[in-house]
Amino acid sequence: MRAPARICVVCVLALGGCALTAEAEESVVTVNINHSRFDPGAFEFTAGTTVRFVVRNDDPIDHEFLIGDEADQDRHERGTHASHGVVPGEISVPAGTTRSTTYTFTKPGDLIIGCHLPAHYAYGMRAEVTVGS
Amino acid sequence: MRSIKVLLLSVVATMLTAGPALACGGLVAPNGSVDLVRTTTLAAYVDGVEHYVTSFEFAGAGGGKFGSIVPLPDVPTDVTKAGRWTLQRLVEEVRPPEPSAFRNALLFAEDASAKVIMTKRVSALDIVVLKGGGDEVGKWAKDNGFFLPPDAPEVLDFYAQRSPIFMAVRFNLARAEGKGLQAGDGIPVHVTIPTDRPWVPLRILGLGRGADEIVEADVFLLNETKPLLMPGMDEAGSRDGLVHERSEEASKALLTDLASDRGMDWLPTDDMWLDYIRINTRAADLDHDLAISVDGETPSPVDAGYALAATTVPRAESTPVWAWIVGVAMLVVILMGSNLLVSRL
C-alpha cells in the first residue's frame, strides 16, 4: 500500500468583473487511477470548497469515482446503477478515459471516494476525504 | 525427441475455493452462460521448446461465463490436442485416487490463435494467444467480453514485464452443448513454446481472489536431473506457502504411463527426477512464481517474479550442480469448484 498523498487544495478564484463571488471558488484536482487504486489516496479540503475532479483511468478496466459518506458508499455497494454521471461527485470512468465531476464540500467531516464495480471496493479501491472547517 | 537436452515436467493442481464471480487464472465474462471453473496446463521444455498442457473444466450452462488467462514465457508455435489423462496420472502419483474415481472424462483439443498472434479452437474452447503489455491485453480481454477483476491490471503488468505473451481461453457454449459436455468435463490443451527461460506461473492463481482466500495447488516437476528452484525451500521443505513434498527419482511406471498418453511420446521413460510441491497460502502472499534452473545455475529472480515484485529473494536450496539436462516439461493444473478430480483430492 502506498502512503496516501495529501492534497492541499488551492482555490482558484475566478473574478467576475471586480466582484468575488462564492460560486467563483473552484479548484481543480487531478486524480489518477492505476492498478485499481486512486492516486492520491487521501484528500483534505475546507468546507465550502468546490472542486472539479479530473479523473484519469489508466487501467484497462472500467472504474467509478463516487464521493459520499459511509452510508452513501454502502448504498452504492448494494446499488445497481450501471453508470454514473448526473449526480455531482459521482461519475463512471471507462477504461483509458478521463472524466470530470464537480462537487462542493458543504460541511466538515469525513467522506470517502469509492469504486463499487464488482469486487473493487473490497479490493481497496477507496480514498479518504477529510473536510475541515 | 529423446535427444532433448532439457526436460522438466511440472503440474500445478489448484483447488480454488468457491469464488462465485472470479475464475481460476483470472478472467470473467459477465454476460455469457458458461462457467470455466478449472484450468489445467502442461508446459514442456524440450531442447529449447517448452510444452504446456492446459486443461479447462466445463461447469455447465448458467451462472455466468468464465474465461481464463495464462501467462506464457514466450511466443508459442502451436496449440494442439493434449493427452487424455496425463494430469490425472501425475496427481495419482502423489495422491492415489479412489479406484472408481480415476479417469473421468477429459475431452479433446484442437488449435486456437489471437495482439493476436494465434487463434485456435480446441474442442469447445476458443483460445487466443496474445502479445502485448498488461494494458493492451486487458483492453483486448475487455473488448472481447471478458470481465477482469480489480487486481487484473496489476497482475497483467506483473507478467507482461517479463513476457508479453498471454493465452486467453473460454468455452463456446454452442460447441460445448453440441459436444455434449457435462459439468466437470475437462478439455486438455497442449501449447508448444520455444523458450530458453521456463517458469511456472503461480501468482496468477490468486487472480480475482480476496487477500485472505487460500490458494491450494499442486506443482509437479519432472527433470532428467534434480533442478534448482526459486523460491528455494528451507530444511523443512517449505517456503512462502510452498511445501516441497517430494524430490525423488521418477518411477519407471509413472514415466511409462505418461509417455503412453496421447501426444506425450516426447517424454523419456527413464532417468527422470520428480518433484512435487504443494501450495497452500493466502492469495495475498502468493506474489511470486516458481523459477526452475536445470543447468546448475541459480534460478532467475526475475523468472520467479521477485525482481518485479521488489520482494526479498529467498535463497535457493543447496543442491548439487548438474552438468547437463535432458528436458523440461511443466504442467499446471488449476482445479476450481466441484469436479471429480477436485473432489477426489
How confident is the model over A7-28, as a mean pLDDT? 47
How confident is the model over B237-254, as a mean pLDDT? 87
- Residues A60-82 have pLDDT tens digits of 999 999 999 999 999 999 876 76
Q: Which of A2, A57, A59 to mutate to test the interface with B (most CBs of B within 10 A)?
A: A59
- Total domain count for chain A? 1
Beta strands B273-282 and B214-223, pairing class: antiparallel
Binary contact (A117, B150; C-beta < 8 A): yes
Q: Rounded to whole angstroms, what are the CA distances from B60 to A99, B32, B140, B297?
A: 39, 11, 25, 46
Q: Which residues of B touch A123 (CB under 8 A)?
A: 149-151
Share the mean pLDDT of chain B.
Answer: 68
Q: Rounded to whole angstroms, what are the CA distances from B68 to B48, B98, B127?
A: 26, 29, 10
3-state secondary structure of B211: coil
How confident is the model over B21-32, as a mean pLDDT? 31
Q: Closest partner residue to B210 among A35, A118, A122, by Cβ?
A: A122
The more confident residue out of B251 and B62 is: B251
Q: Rounded to whole angstroms, what are the CA distances from B11 to A106, B142, B180, B343?
A: 58, 29, 28, 18
- Residues B220-245 have pLDDT tens digits of 787 878 888 888 877 777 777 888 88
Interface of B with A in 111-140 (CB under 8 A): 134-139
Q: Which domain holds residue A34?
A: 12-132
Residue B2 lies in a domain: no
Q: Which residues of A touch B139 (CB under 8 A)?
A: 60, 95-96
Q: Which residues of B touch A120 (CB under 8 A)?
A: 150
The more confident residue out of B10 and B204 is: B204
Residue B62 lies in a domain: yes
Beta strands A37-39 and A126-132, pairing class: unpaired
| The predicted structure's pLDDT at residue A95 | 93
**Looking at the complex, does the CB of residue A61 fall below 8 Å from at least one CB of chain B?**
yes
Q: Closest partner residue to A61 among B148, B157, B210, by Cβ?
A: B148
| The predicted structure's pLDDT at residue B20 | 25
Q: What confidence category does residue B23 fall into, taking pLDDT thresholds of 50, 70 and 90? A: very low
Helices (H), chain B: 86-94, 134-143, 152-160, 173-178, 252-259, 306-309, 340-344
How confident is the model over A109-119, as a mean pLDDT? 95
Query: Phi/psi at B48 (nearest 5 deg)?
Result: 85, 5
> What chain A residue is nearest to B136 in terms of C-alpha separation?
A60
Residue A25 lies in a domain: yes
Least confident range from A35-44, B86-95, B226-235: namely: B86-95
The three three-digit cell numbers of residue A58, written as one number: 489508466
Nearest to B27 by CA among B202, B159, B146, B160: B146
Least confident range from A90-94, B36-40, B191-195, B230-234: namely: B36-40
Nearest to A115 by CA among B105, B115, B153, B50: B153
What's the burial of B284, exposed, middle or buried (CB within 10 Å: 0-12/13-18/19+)? middle
How confident is the model over B322-329, as a mean pLDDT? 26
How confident is the model over A42-66, as a mean pLDDT? 96
Q: Which region, left, alpha or beta, applies to residue A85 given φ > 0 means left and ψ of -120 to 50 means alpha?
A: left
Residue A77 lies in a domain: yes
Residue A29 lies in a domain: yes
Residue A56 lies in a domain: yes
Q: Which domain holds residue B97?
A: 12-344
Q: Which residues of A touch B142 (CB under 8 A)?
A: 60-62, 95
Looking at this predicted complex, what is its ipTM? 0.76
| The predicted structure's pLDDT at residue B316 | 39
B93: which DSSP letter?
A: H
Binary contact (A118, B21; C-beta < 8 A): yes
Give the CATH number of the domain where residue A103 resides. Answer: 2.60.40.420
Q: What confidence category does residue A20 fall into, taking pLDDT thresholds of 50, 70 and 90? A: very low
How confident is the model over B307-320, as a mean pLDDT? 43
The more confident residue out of B130 and A103 is: A103
3-state secondary structure of B58: strand
Q: Which of B28, B31, B154 to mutate to test the interface with A (most CBs of A within 10 A)?
A: B154
Q: What confidence category does residue B81 fall into, taking pLDDT thresholds of 50, 70 and 90? A: low
Binary contact (B135, A96; C-beta < 8 A): yes
Share the mean pLDDT of chain A.
Answer: 84
| The predicted structure's pLDDT at residue B312 | 43
Residue A4 lies in a domain: no
Q: Closest partner residue to B151 among A58, A62, A123, by Cβ?
A: A123
Asked whether residue B271 carries a pLDDT value surpassing 80, the answer given is yes
| The predicted structure's pLDDT at residue B10 | 36
Q: What confidence category does residue A113 fall into, taking pLDDT thresholds of 50, 70 and 90? A: very high
| The predicted structure's pLDDT at residue B333 | 31
Asked whether residue A88 carries a pLDDT value surpassing 90, the answer given is yes
Interface of B with A in 18-37 (CB under 8 A): 21-22
Least confident range from A5-14, A22-31, A110-119, B216-225: namely: A5-14
Pairwise CA distance, residues B251 & B242, whole Å: 23
Q: Which residues of A touch B156 (CB under 8 A)?
A: 60
Residue A47 lies in a domain: yes
Pairwise CA distance, residues B17 & B280, whole Å: 12
Q: Which of B22, B115, B135 to mutate to test the interface with A (most CBs of A within 10 A)?
A: B135
Q: Which residues of A touch B21 (CB under 8 A)?
A: 118-119
Residue B285 lies in a domain: yes
Q: Rounded to whole angstroms, what are the CA distances from B168 to B22, B61, B117, B125?
A: 15, 20, 12, 10
Binary contact (A123, B156; C-beta < 8 A): no
Distance from CA of B12 to the nearest CA of A (A): 26
- Residues B168-225 have pLDDT tens digits of 888 888 888 888 888 778 788 787 777 777 788 889 888 888 889 888 877 778 787 8
- Total domain count for chain B? 1
Q: What confidence category does residue B11 fall into, taking pLDDT thresholds of 50, 70 and 90? A: very low
β strands within B250-338, DSSP E: 273-282, 290-293, 328-336
Who's near B318: CB < 8 A, 6+ residues apart?
none
> What chain B residue is nearest to A122 in terms of C-alpha separation?
B210
Residue B282 lies in a domain: yes
> What chain A residue is nearest to B22 in terms of C-alpha separation?
A119
The three three-digit cell numbers of residue B293, written as one number: 534452473
Distance from CA of A69 to the nearest CA of B (A): 22
Q: Which of A26-35, B92-101, B124-133 has the highest mean pLDDT?
A: A26-35
The more confident residue out of B86 and B27 is: B86
- Residues B138-180 have pLDDT tens digits of 888 888 878 789 999 999 999 988 898 998 888 888 888 888 8
Residue A1 lies in a domain: no
Nearest to B35 by CA among B338, B331, B343, B344: B338
Binary contact (A120, B150; C-beta < 8 A): yes
Residue B333 lies in a domain: yes
How confident is the model over B46-67, as a mean pLDDT? 61
Asked whether residue B264 carries a pLDDT value surpassing 50, the answer given is yes
What's the burial of A28, exposed, middle or buried (CB within 10 Å: 0-12/13-18/19+)? middle
Q: What is the pTM of this model?
A: 0.70
**Looking at the complex, does the CB of residue B141 fall below 8 Å from at least one CB of chain A?**
yes
